[in-house]
Structure 1
């Protein structure tokens, strides 16, 4: 996905500046880098995301080919007796709901960090080569060793995503000015193109690699069981780093010169952000495959509700990432029953028109 970046602007005195990618006119205090808020009450800014997550979880657990009530869902999860509905909820719906919660939170936070560090409102984690790195790892292993089990594909996806993120950051920091938004975007585009070319070449040479890639590229919450048990420490580490990175993001939104004047170490802030993005996006890819558009859509939804202050928008992005992934997964189960559409397909149908609309809004694209 091609994306442009904006140049940082110096801030002097006690003036205010607008956060790139935020709603027009969102003032930022140069001392703290935090917006005073979009005029909404704390109850709305906290209550709406929490209520949305609860509703999405209930819908994911209760809605399917055989609908269930909330008491039935509670009974199936906490006091099962072995009925057909208990088995359906406990063995099928509840595990994929947990994966959706984890993957959605990771994608939402990774998306808002990516847009913040690249200062690009149409950026998403795939811009840093993470998805293509995961695909290359899976396809390469299949090409060399033959068809692989699902858990092996998940492990390879995580390793490939991590390596791609490290390479992007290494290339970006090797530039004369260090890891700036421009160098990160350019190095991410280069790594993505390289990995994509290698993947294409391998799948053309080997039909087993093509079959594996075709299965893996359909993002789904159901196709990769038990990955959450192995990957959650990395997801938690990414979330912790993201929280620690919030203050730096607020000051970096004013421009690198202003951030330095406020005591922010720009290289350390960039490094922490890229590591967090890599861990979060790599965890999401491992658990659910390459789910497109979630990392692009969620940051805009979060900023529209709570404003551009990352102290509010990062938690909101986690909440709305969960909602978007769970609702899309549930919609896929309902629309195509008795079969199902994968969550990746549903989000692509939703996200493509949104991206076109976003691209037409010049103020957001040229941040």
Structure 2
């Protein structure tokens, strides 16, 4: 590992100038395992607390002792036990899984593309998956969730391919700002098409949930189908974490260290599509999680993706769980869309990053 770090440090300076136009400058090799350990332990403890609060609080507050009994000594004849088991537990677990999905997907995208503005919502993946779901609701109503999640993967892939294709057509090549502009334009187009399909086929009520973004409708069946896909993608992300670290320093550095960049990028793209598609199919279009969390994680633990990926998963889950809790507590008994709560944080953060990127260009 020391040899790898030395080789990276010796090549970073040359790579800063030799990198593609508009790419973010290569970052210095640094890692803070102590900070990552603190985030993982403290974040998991906070996540457990947040999940407990989320299960307990709502339109009807439930005592912690009742929550414990419903989880470990379930009595189907008790209404509160049914509320916990059938409504609140799948909701909070779905929020944690989806938060981890979006955060890890964003971290991988930012590392592979060296684009600090990369996010599944900003680069068309979420809108593509939403468009695929709109077509499914319109033409194949009642489609089982197993097929919905597959079509979400296809839609996310279509959105990403179109964004990269449109961004590459610009004179001067693909830059972070052009990529985001292409993603914003395509997302607006796909959203408009989805709404047109919803109006024509009168499925607006079904589709409104997906575009508002929320975990209220999460069921155990969805979690059972989604979890294997997410688990395989997370294992793959961690297996490729060292290669993602090299790619985040530039293709030239990665190739010089023996990384097969083409295969790594293909594997990373597949992982991102699975994570983003699974997230959208479960909770709808929730943006900015994959933009905010990776930046915070890198600031805290450094650039080593062996720490970034697990820490991003924990912090992403933490963000969505507490955002969903806030969405329920702001105006009870009515619920605010969780996507709107996260956007209140994400939009100013995006504007800050865009301004910073413009100054660096």
Q: Secondary structure at the match of 2:202?
A: helix
Query: For residue 4 of structure 2, what is the aligned residue in structure 1?
Result: none
1:57/1:215 Cα in 2 relative to 1: closer, same or farther (>3 Å)? closer
Shift of 1:332: 1.0
CA distance in 2, matches of 1:210, 1:230: 25
Query: For residue 14 of structure 1, what is the aligned residue in structure 2?
Result: 10
1:356 equivalenced with 2:351 (yes/no) = yes
1:208/1:313 Cα in 2 relative to 1: closer, same or farther (>3 Å)? same
The aligned length equals 340
Query: For residue 22 of structure 2, what is the aligned residue in structure 1?
Result: none
Contact 2:90 2:223 in 1 (8 A): no
1:159 equivalenced with 2:151 (yes/no) = yes
Query: For residue 230 of structure 2, what is the aligned residue in structure 1?
Result: 235
Cα root mean square deviation, aligned = 3.5
Which stretch of the first structure deviates more once superposed, 79-88 or 344-353? 79-88
1:224/1:79 Cα in 2 relative to 1: closer, same or farther (>3 Å)? closer
TM-score, normalization: structure 1? 0.79
CA distance in 1, matches of 2:203, 2:60: 36
Contact 1:120 1:366 in 2 (8 A): no
Contact 1:221 1:287 in 2 (8 A): yes
Query: For residue 109 of structure 2, what is the aligned residue in structure 1?
Result: 114
Q: Which runs of 5 or more structure 2 residues have no equivalent in the other structure?
A: 1-6, 20-24
Contact 1:27 1:36 in 2 (8 A): no
Q: Deviations over 1:91-146 (max 9, x none)?
A: 2211111111211111111111111122122221124432222222232344445x
Aligned counterpart in structure 1 of residue 47 of structure 2, from 53, 72, 89: 53
Query: For residue 280 of structure 1, what is the aligned residue in structure 2?
Result: 275
Shift of 1:361: 3.2
Query: For residue 323 of structure 2, what is the aligned residue in structure 1?
Result: 328
1:155/1:12 Cα in 2 relative to 1: closer, same or farther (>3 Å)? closer
Q: Secondary structure at the match of 2:325?
A: helix
Contact 2:118 2:291 in 1 (8 A): yes
Query: For residue 131 of structure 2, what is the aligned residue in structure 1?
Result: 136
Which stretch of the first structure deviates more once superposed, 63-72 or 275-284? 63-72
Q: Secondary structure at the match of 1:220?
A: coil
CA distance in 2, matches of 1:343, 1:102: 15
Query: For residue 27 of structure 1, what is the aligned residue in structure 2?
Result: 28
Aligned pairs (5 A) from 1:1-367: 14=10, 16=12, 27-28=28-29, 35-37=30-32, 40-41=34-35, 43-81=37-75, 82-144=77-139, 148-149=141-142, 152=144, 155-156=147-148, 158-165=150-157, 168-169=160-161, 185=179, 192=187, 195-196=190-191, 198-203=193-198, 206=200, 208-225=202-219, 226-362=221-357, 366=360
TM-score, normalization: structure 2? 0.81
Q: Deviations over 1:317-366 (max 9, x none)?
A: 00011111110111111112112112122212232222233333348x85
CA distance in 1, matches of 2:130, 2:35: 43
Contact 1:137 1:157 in 2 (8 A): no
Shift of 1:188: 5.7
CA distance in 2, matches of 1:171, 1:304: 28
CA distance in 2, matches of 1:224, 1:54: 19
